[in-house]
């Protein structure tokens, strides 16, 4: 395998001259170089903007440390940091617990109707995040049906206040359940049943075997996922802004956003300083996670023997698990989607009441199919999603495999691919705007520029997905192929990729769905003729055309569901062939 052949002969004298520098495999060096080209320019932009005053014309002024100073001395920083930690941790816990339980039920039990969970998860991933949040607020808000119901029963007004920390955690956490479910089900699906069977033969109860072996083997994947959600929540904006600020709960993103926007002329100094601090925090977390991965061989479950997972017969309990799935389906998918569909037929939304039913019409759909927004941006959006996913997934699959095989220097790949996750999207958008507008290549304002930016943005998601999958493949198979004379490239293409295929197809879908939903990143990059759907949706929201937005959201959801259903069928079929 060439990837294990460490350094080429020509680089040896140089390395000999620098004995303390660890050797890097040439393949890793090439990948690191590609990543550096993509990531360093926005990182430098962030660093520079955090260390200089921004002048009224947007240029950088004199050097200053005041943004870092105000970060630590400002009266909002510490309370915001505290709130952010609670919010991120809480959301990660909710998402992991619910998503993992759901994945276990679907992948490892004979619960009736379990395959519908995929459909449900994908359907809810198709709902634009801002609509999802609004739908939850409509449901749990002051005038929502739940408060009305409680008030009716208890005769006390204002029973629940969703504009609180628990409200934020609940909405954000549940929002991540579909993602967690998809990632964890990929992990559980590729687990070798023989480990559990061995435990049962050795005298463990099925429950204990399940708990200690199955969940135990999922630990690295769960940790990787928890970190992904933690970081993603750390920099999330919609829920903190819609839910948190209304309850006077500040988190870092809302504090920073306010400082960037309050005076009209944008000033991104504090946001830059904040991002740099966040990068440092995440680097520490990654080092910790890499230590965990050093023992990765303990979790490798895909061997040369075949790996059909064992399905547990729950007996009569399977109806309980089915009820649990149904409940999740209801809360994660049906209710937000139903509110959206309901709103899409109205001239304005004023809560769920009988009068609203009398006002229903197809007007919003008529506008939708008229000239303009929807039709203009749909092709661009599909190209954006497909291109981003097609760039990100194979690239991160290769990176993840090298990291898991601990090829020299590959740890750098892990760090570099995680970095874009901590660039707040709004800042990454400004950074790429400045990069593209100053480039000699005519990329500025084109769809290609958005594809490049979102490929960088979603590297981390592809990486986490592929990493969790690659972690489970034992090196024996590759070793045997290499011994039989296969080259590194053909081992990767003919052994690793097919084994990773179910994971990668899911990863493709995920990156596709995430990149077509992003708003802050393409907002500044789109030009006339390169409009994308999510930005159009955001504009409708900004202009108060909520009901039009809902109708566009419904169509969008249907389209995404169709795309996802095709992929789901492909995953299943592929699995049959493995």
Q: Which residues have a Cβ under 8 Å from the Cβ of 318 and sit 6 or more positions away?
A: 109, 110, 111, 112
266 touching another protein, by CB under 8 A: yes
Between residues 289 and 545, which has the closer beta carbon with respect to another protein? 545
CA angle 221/223/226 to nearest 5° reads 110
Helices 497-517 and 533-542 pack at an angle, to 10 degrees, of: 30
Determine the interface stretch with another protein among 24-32, 135-143, 278-286, 554-562 (rule: CB under 8 A).
135-143
State the DSSP H helix or E strand holding residue 10, giving kind and residue range, or none if neither: none
143 touching another protein, by CB under 8 A: yes
Determine the interface stretch with another protein among 17-25, 379-387, 412-420, 432-440 (rule: CB under 8 A).
432-440
- Minimum separation from the CB atom of position 429 to another protein (A): 9
d(CA 55, CA 64) in angstroms, rounded, equals 13
57 touching another protein, by CB under 8 A: yes
Contact in structure between 485 and 1 (CB atoms under 8 Å): no
d(CA 197, CA 202) in angstroms, rounded, equals 8
- Minimum separation from the CB atom of position 294 to another protein (A): 37
Rg (CA), the chain: 25
List of long-range contacts for 334-339, beta carbons under 8 Å, 24+ apart: 335/135, 335/139, 336/124, 336/127, 336/131, 336/132, 336/135, 336/136, 336/139, 337/123, 337/124, 337/127, 337/135, 337/557, 339/135, 339/138, 339/139
- Minimum separation from the CB atom of position 376 to another protein (A): 10
Between residues 23 and 367, which has the closer beta carbon with respect to another protein? 367
Burial of 444 (0-12, 13-18, 19+ CB in 10 A): middle
Per-residue H/E/C for 506-545: HHHHHHHHHHHHCCHHHHCCCCCCCCCHHHHHHHHHHCCC
When binding is defined by CB under 8 A, the residue of 349, 386, 415, 475 that contacts another protein is 349
Contact in structure between 102 and 117 (CB atoms under 8 Å): yes
529 touching another protein, by CB under 8 A: yes
Between residues 243 and 500, which has the closer beta carbon with respect to another protein? 243
Structure tokens at 555: 């169509």
Determine the interface stretch with another protein among 205-213, 240-248, 334-342, 380-388 (rule: CB under 8 A).
240-248
Structure tokens at 256: 């920073």
Sign of CA dihedral 237, 239, 244, 246: positive
d(CA 389, CA 17) in angstroms, rounded, equals 41
365 touching another protein, by CB under 8 A: no
Determine the interface stretch with another protein among 28-36, 53-61, 276-284, 383-391 (rule: CB under 8 A).
53-61
When binding is defined by CB under 8 A, the residue of 257, 465, 467, 512 that contacts another protein is 257
d(CA 436, CA 445) in angstroms, rounded, equals 8
The footprint of another protein on residues 70-89 (CB under 8 A) is 76
Between residues 259 and 472, which has the closer beta carbon with respect to another protein? 259
Q: Which residues have a Cβ under 8 Å from the Cβ of 315 and sit 6 or more positions away?
A: none
- Determine the size of the site formed for another protein (CB under 8 A): 61
351 touching another protein, by CB under 8 A: yes
- Minimum separation from the CB atom of position 330 to another protein (A): 22
Structure tokens at 46: 């962030």
- Minimum separation from the CB atom of position 47 to another protein (A): 18
d(CA 557, CA 576) in angstroms, rounded, equals 28
- Minimum separation from the CB atom of position 452 to another protein (A): 15
156 touching another protein, by CB under 8 A: no
518 touching another protein, by CB under 8 A: no
When binding is defined by CB under 8 A, the residue of 523, 537, 550, 560 that contacts another protein is 523
Determine the interface stretch with another protein among 137-145, 198-206, 216-224, 332-340 (rule: CB under 8 A).
137-145
56 touching another protein, by CB under 8 A: yes
Determine the interface stretch with another protein among 187-195, 316-324, 380-388, 539-547 (rule: CB under 8 A).
539-547
373 touching another protein, by CB under 8 A: yes
Task: Give me the residues paired with residue 52 across strands.
Answer: 63
Contact in structure between 551 and 131 (CB atoms under 8 Å): no
Determine the interface stretch with another protein among 21-29, 296-304, 409-417, 541-549 (rule: CB under 8 A).
541-549
Return the DSSP state at 4: G
Between residues 6 and 363, which has the closer beta carbon with respect to another protein? 363
- Minimum separation from the CB atom of position 401 to another protein (A): 23
445 touching another protein, by CB under 8 A: yes
375 touching another protein, by CB under 8 A: no
- Minimum separation from the CB atom of position 21 to another protein (A): 28
In the chain, the N- to C-terminal Cα span, in Å, equals: 23
Q: What share of the chain is helix, strand, coil (3-state, %, to 5)?
A: 75, 0, 25
**In a 3-state reduction of DSSP, which class is residue 441?**
coil
544 touching another protein, by CB under 8 A: yes
Task: Give me the residues paired with residue 63 across strands.
Answer: 52
- Minimum separation from the CB atom of position 212 to another protein (A): 44
Determine the interface stretch with another protein among 28-36, 110-118, 218-226, 248-256 (rule: CB under 8 A).
248-256
Structure tokens at 411: 């740890």
Q: Which residues have a Cβ under 8 Å from the Cβ of 565 and sit 6 or more positions away?
A: 119, 122
438 touching another protein, by CB under 8 A: yes
When binding is defined by CB under 8 A, the residue of 291, 542, 576, 577 that contacts another protein is 542
When binding is defined by CB under 8 A, the residue of 65, 201, 437, 489 that contacts another protein is 437
13 touching another protein, by CB under 8 A: no
350 touching another protein, by CB under 8 A: yes
248 touching another protein, by CB under 8 A: yes
263 touching another protein, by CB under 8 A: yes
| Interaction site with another protein (CB under 8 A) | 55-59, 76, 137-138, 141-143, 238, 240-242, 244-246, 248, 250, 254, 257-258, 261-266, 347-351, 359, 367, 371-373, 430, 433-434, 437-438, 440-442, 444-445, 523-524, 526-529, 539, 541-544, 546
């Amino acid at each position: 395998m060439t990837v294990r052949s460490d350094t080429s002969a020509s680089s040896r004298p140089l390395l000999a001259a620098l004995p303390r520098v660890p050797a890097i495999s040439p393949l890793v060096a090439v990948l690191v170089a590609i990543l550096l080209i993509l990531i360093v320019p926005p990182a430098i932009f962030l660093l520079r903007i955090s260390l200089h005053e921004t002048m009224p014309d947007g240029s950088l002024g004199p050097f200053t440390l005041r943004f870092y100073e105000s970060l630590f001395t400002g009266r909002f920083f510490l309370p915001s940091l505290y709130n952010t930690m609670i919010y991120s941790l809480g959301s990660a816990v909710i998402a992991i617990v619910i998503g993992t339980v759901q994945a276990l039920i679907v992948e490892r039990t004979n619960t009736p109707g379990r395959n519908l969970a995929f459909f449900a998860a994908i359907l809810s991933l198709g709902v634009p995040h801002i609509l999802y949040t609004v739908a939850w607020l409509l449901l749990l808000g002051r005038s929502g049906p739940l408060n009305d119901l409680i008030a009716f029963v208890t005769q006390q007004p204002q029973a629940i206040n969703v504009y609180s920390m628990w409200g934020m955690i609940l909405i954000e956490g549940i929002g991540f359940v579909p993602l967690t479910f998809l990632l964890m089900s990929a992990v559980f699906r590729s687990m070798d049943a023989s480990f559990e069977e061995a435990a049962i033969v050795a005298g463990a109860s099925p429950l204990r075997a399940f708990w200690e072996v199955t969940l135990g083997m999922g630990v690295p994947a769960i940790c990787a996922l928890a970190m992904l959600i933690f970081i993603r929540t750390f920099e999330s904006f919609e829920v903190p802004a819609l839910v948190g600020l209304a309850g006077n709960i500040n988190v870092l993103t809302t504090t920073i956003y306010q400082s960037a926007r309050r005076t009209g002329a944008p000033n991104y100094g504090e946001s830059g300083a904040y991002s740099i601090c966040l990068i440092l925090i995440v680097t520490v977390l990654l080092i910790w996670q890499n230590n965990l991965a050093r023992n990765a061989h303990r979790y490798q479950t895909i061997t040369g023997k075949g790996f059909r997972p064992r399905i547990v017969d729950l007996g009569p309990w399977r109806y309980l698990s089915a009820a649990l799935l149904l409940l999740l389906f209801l809360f994660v998918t049906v209710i937000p989607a139903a509110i959206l569909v309901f709103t899409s037929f109205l001239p304005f939304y004023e809560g769920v009441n009988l009068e609203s039913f009398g006002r229903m019409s197809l007007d919003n759909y008529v506008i939708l199919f008229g000239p303009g927004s929807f039709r203009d941006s749909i092709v661009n959006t599909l190209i954006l999603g497909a291109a981003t996913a097609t760039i990100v997934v194979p690239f991160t699959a290769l990176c993840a495999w090298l990291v898991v095989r601990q090829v020299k220097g590959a740890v750098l790949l892990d760090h570099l691919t995680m970095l874009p996750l901590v660039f707040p999207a709004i800042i990454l958008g400004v950074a790429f705007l400045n990069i593209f507008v100053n480039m000699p290549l005519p990329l500025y304002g084109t769809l290609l520029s958005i594809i490049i930016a979102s490929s960088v943005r979603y590297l981390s998601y592809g990486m986490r997905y592929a990493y969790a999958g690659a972690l489970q493949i034992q090196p024996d198979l590759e070793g045997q192929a290499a011994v039989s004379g296969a080259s590194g490239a053909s081992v990767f293409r003919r052994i690793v990729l097919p084994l990773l295929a179910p994971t990668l197809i899911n990863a493709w879908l995920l990156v596709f769905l995430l990149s077509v939903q992003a708003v802050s990143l393409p907002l500044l990059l789109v030009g006339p003729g390169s409009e994308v759907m999510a930005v159009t949706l955001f504009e409708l929201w900004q202009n108060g055309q909520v009901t039009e937005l809902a109708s566009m959201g419904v169509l969008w959801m249907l389209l995404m569901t169709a795309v996802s259903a095709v992929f789901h069928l492909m995953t299943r079929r592929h699995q049959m062939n493995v």
